[in-house]
Amino acid sequence: MPGSKSIIGDYGQWISSLKKEIPALSFRNSKWQALDQWKNEALIKVNELLAKPCIQEVPVVTVEKKYTFDGLEIEELSWQLPYGRVTRAVLLKPSGVTKSLPGILALHDHAGKKYFGYRKIVRTSDDPHPLIRDHQSTDYSGKAWANEIARKGYVVLVHDTFAFGSRRVRYEDVEGLGYGPLNVNNRTDSDSEKPENIELYNQWAGEHEHVMSKSLFSAGTTWPGVVLAEDQIALSILSDRADVDPDRIGCGGLSGGGLRTVYLGGLDPRIKCAVCVGFMTTWNDLILHKSFTHTWMTYAPLLPNYLDFPEILGLRVPLPTLVQNNIHDDLYTLSEMKKADIILVEVYKKANAAQHYKAVFYDGPHKFDAKMQSDAFQWFDKYLK
């Protein structure tokens, strides 16, 4: 109605009204009673709308380097997808362990820092890049959480996903943007590790997101679809290892890693335990309040007609799911975070799996701090060990 305020002015209430309170493929809809029938139909539709690119074969993995650090055996890995530059990754596991272990696909965050990918949540030396040290201090209580959980008895794989780290867009590969804030003509070397150059690159990459997203839509795919495809390849690589029990694999991550958990955990049943950190709300929150705080990686056209946002993760029911929220997280509206929790409670209750879902609200801003990490690791231990 006129006078109602939102991030899109007085159009907010009207646009919000276009979305049904209980979408067509919501398990909360009374139409759906049989879990398997609902899940089959919902997964078909969601996969159709994500339109992920087809990667037919798991690529050959190259071990670039092996060494021991921080009580862990570390492998630096790479693989070539059918498009883009080589994907780089790191695998961590406890030193000296010979038996097969549960696996964790640790999903790095977004944070507006596309120069780095997996490096944001691991530590492979006593002298990390100063921007990595600052990021881990601010968001992770100074910890490299992938290392922390590996030491607890997991094989942990962390890879650069689409448009991050080794997979990032390079200035030298771009043409046609010689104007305004996206001007690539005066940029410095995109491979420079100087903090000022990295900060400049991250600013440019943030401005480039809408360009990439429009190009993906024009090609008939979506950003979350591309990321899902790449994360599923990494999951296959982890699952195929002789030192990993493929029936005991979890995934999790903060922020952009939480978003990736929503899609990967929701759509791939190989993920037996999921921990979504700092990325849970409703489509209504994004319509009216918070879409501008989030990456284009979030959005798949028409998907809200069929599922509310938390119900994407709810597609994994009855498999165990932990959602960790921060009460003072500026990326979301608290009331909508709580509504998302109510939705997931309803989904799990209807599937007679209420004991396999839990949401926790922590004091403080957007983060995955030491307390949250401890709780997440206990959740993984409960279901994967």
Residue 356 has pLDDT above 60, yes or no: yes
Could you tell me the pLDDT band of residue 190, with boundaries at 50, 70 and 90? low
Could you tell me the pLDDT band of residue 168, with boundaries at 50, 70 and 90? very high
Q: Does pTM top 0.95 for this prediction?
A: yes
3-state SS of the chain? Answer: CCCCCCCCHHHHHHHHHCCCCCCCCCCCCCCCCCHHHHHHHHHHHHHHHHCCCCCCCCCCEEEEEEEEECCEEEEEEEECCCCCCCEEEEEEEECCCCCCEEEEEECCCCCCCCCCCHHHHCCCCCCCCHHHHHHHHHHCCCCCHHHHHHCCCCEEEEECCCCCHHHCCCHHHCCCCCCHHHCCCCCCCCCCCCHHHHHHHHHHHHHHHHHHHHHHHHCCCCHHHHHHHHHHHHHHHHHCCCCEEEEEEEEEEECHHHHHHHHHHHHCCCCCEEEEECCCCCHHHHHHHHHHHCCHHHCCCCHHHCCCHHHHHHCCCCCCEEEEEECCCCCCCHHHHHHHHHHHHHHHHHCCCHHHEEEEEECCCCCCCHHHHHHHHHHHHHHHC
Could you tell me the pLDDT band of residue 180, with boundaries at 50, 70 and 90? confident
Residue 1 has pLDDT above 50, yes or no: no
* pLDDT of 178: 82
* pLDDT of 185: 80
CATH fold of the domain at 1-169+217-385: Rossmann fold (3.40.50)
- Over residues 24-83, the pLDDT tens digits come to 999 999 999 999 999 999 999 999 999 999 998 999 999 999 999 999 999 999 999 999
Tokens of 290: 């918070």
* pLDDT of 181: 78
116 and 165 Cβ atoms separated by less than 8 Å: yes
- Over residues 232-260, the pLDDT tens digits come to 999 999 999 999 999 999 999 999 999 99
Residue 135 has pLDDT above 50, yes or no: yes
